[in-house]
Amino acid sequence: MSGVIKVAFATKDGENVNDHFGWAKEFAIYEVGKEGYALSAIVKAEEDHNEEDGKINAKIEAIKEANILYCEAIGPAAAAKVVKARIHPIKIVQPITIKQACEQLTDMLNKNPPPWIKRIIAISENREEQ
């Protein structure tokens, strides 16, 4: 489906964006489009890595299909790796529910999306074609 983006949410309870990327044990993955949004998957991040790099890489692997990552916090090294994986990190500044974030994205897609969202849609469509 055209214009659908995948969004990963670092969450402790499946309802709120309330976890630090580096500490998150699971991510809720949603598909968001002009018509609305739906939960696609709940993915667990592997925790069997001793070094920081391994933990970050395992989390990126868990959310590799996402175009956007919402989290409460993310360190600079992790953010750089997330961006390199072609995932746009969004660090929330005020508490937000996953539902609110999805509704904001749906609204943004239905209006005139900003350039960064247009770029994400293009990346998403390129992934689907490969």
pLDDT tens digit sequence for 57-74? 999 999 999 999 999 999
Kindly state the tokens that stand for 98: 């996953």
Instruction: Enumerate residues 6+ apart whose C-beta is below 8 A from 69.
Output: 7, 8, 9, 10, 21, 27, 63, 82, 87, 88, 89, 90
pLDDT: is 41 or 126 the higher one? 41
Query: Could you give all domains of the chain from N- to C-terminal order, each with its CATH number?
Result: 5-129 (3.30.420.130)
Which pLDDT value is given to residue 1? 43
Model confidence, pTM = 0.91
With 0-12 CB in 10 A as exposed, 13-18 as middle and 19+ as buried, what is 62? buried
Residue 80 has pLDDT above 90, yes or no: yes
Mean pLDDT score, 121-130? 73
Residue 1: CB atoms within 10 A of its CB come to 8
Eight-state DSSP code of residue 14: S
Model confidence at 2, in pLDDT bands (50, 70, 90)? low
